[in-house]
A = this chain, B = another copy of it.
C-alpha cells in the first residue's frame, strides 16, 4: 500500500485555489499519496471552482497548523503576521512548511530556517521568487557546488510590463501603469512593485540562497521606475541599450554589491530581451559561466505548480527520512555588503539645460573635477527653452556621481532635476 502524506493549506485565494485543485486532482508518479486534509480561509463560502470536502474547510488557520493528520503546511496568505506565527507553530509541531511569502522570508527567513532545522523539518519556498520558474531549485541543487559570482534578475512582472509598454508604445509611466492595471498585471496599489520593493524582497531571499548572506531590507539600495520617461528609453536605444528594473548582486573581493534599480542593459544581452510580464534570473558562476532562467514570475497557476513541486519534494524527503535541506541555508558565508557609495559603474545622465553656449563646458568641468569621464554625448535640437543633454560615462564611483549631480543641479543653466540611470554591461 502507498504511504500517504497529509497536506494543509492556509489561504484559499488565487494561488491557494490552484494548489487545492492540483492536490484534489491528484499528483501522479510520486510513489506516494498526497492527501488534502485542511484548507483555511476567512472566506470559505465563495465558490473556487474546486470540490473540497466540507469538513476540510475551516476559517481558523490554527486548525490547519494543529491538525494531527497534517504533515505539510502550505502558507499562502502573505504578509508578516500572522503568517510568521502560523509557520513557526507548524514547525514546532514537527510539520514541514511551504510558503510563497517573499516578504516574510526576506524579513524572518533566518528565524524560520533555524526553527525548522532545530525540529528537523524542512522549508520549501520555490514559489517566493520567480513564480513558476524553478530558480531556487536551480541554485540550491543544480549549482550546489558552484561559487556564484554575480546575479542579475528581472524579478517583477508588473514593472517589466510597464517598461515594455513605455518602450514599445511610447507610453508615459502613468499611462503604462494604468494599462498594466487594466491588463490585470498591476495591483490597485502598485507601489510595492513600481518602487522596487517587491524586487528587493526577492533579492534578499536570493542573497541568502546564492551567497549565504543575511541582509536586512533597509541595508540594500533600492530605487523604483517611477522617474523613467519614454525619452530615457529612446536615448538608451540610441546608445544601444534597453532599460530594465534589475536586482543585482555582485561579488567584489570579500564584499558583495547588492542593489535594485532601473539599469541600462546592452540590447544584445539576453536580459534586454525579457519583455512583457516575464521574469528572468541570470547567474554567473565561477565554473559554469553565465546561466539564465526565464519564465512567468507570477500568476496563480505557475505559482501553484511551484508550491506543489515543493510539497511533492518535501513529502518524498519526509517519507525517506532524509536530512532537511534547510540545513544548507543556515551557513553564513561571512560576506559583507559593499556600501552603495563605493559601487563603481558606468552611468547615464539626462540633464535639462538651457540651450546656450558653454553649457556643455560647465557640465563637463564638474564631471571632470569629480573624476568622471564621459564616453558619449547626445544633444539634439535647438530651443528657446531648456533642452536635454544626454551622456554616458565610463566607470565612476557612486559617491562621486552623487556629488557631481548635486553640483550640476545647482548650476544656473540647469532647469530640472538630472536623471541618473546606472548601466549594467552584464559581462
Contacts and interface: CB of A to CB of B under 8 A. Distances in A.
A303 to B, nearest CB: 9
A11 interface: no
Contacts of A146: 305
Contacts of A133: 142, 288, 291
B290 A144 contact: no
Contacts of A306: 142
Contacts of A22: 145
Interface stretch (A170-178, A196-204, A225-233, A292-300): A292-300
Task: Tell me what chain A mostly uses at the interface: helix, strand, loop, or mixed.
Answer: mixed
B294 A289 contact: no
B309 A144 contact: yes
B270 A294 contact: yes
A34 to B, nearest CB: 11
- Size class of the A contact interface (CB-based, 8 Å): 35 or more
Contact of A294 (B291, B313, B320, B323): B291
A251 interface: no
B145 A308 contact: yes
Contacts of A312: 144-145
A397 to B, nearest CB: 31
A379 interface: no
Contacts of A143: 134, 305, 309
Contacts of A308: 145
A317 interface: yes
Contact of A137 (B31, B142, B304): B142
Nearest to A308: B145
A114 B273 CA distance: 42
A302 interface: yes
B145 A309 contact: yes
B293 A292 contact: yes
Given A308-B145, A312-B144, A328-B29, A321 B320 contact: yes
B293 A288 contact: no
Nearest to A322: B320
A275 interface: yes
A373 B393 CA distance: 51
Contacts of A313: 141
A132 interface: yes
Contact of A270 (B138, B144, B270): B270
What 10 A-B pairs come out closest when comparing CB atoms?
A134-B142, A291-B295, A292-B294, A132-B288, A320-B322, A320-B320, A288-B302, A287-B301, A289-B296, A273-B273
Given A141-B141, A287-B305, A288-B305, 5 more contacts: A132-B291, A133-B142, A143-B305, A270-B273, A292-B295
13 contacts: A29-B327, A132-B285, A134-B138, A142-B306, A145-B309, A270-B274, A278-B290, A280-B292, A287-B301, A288-B301, A289-B299, A291-B293, A317-B320
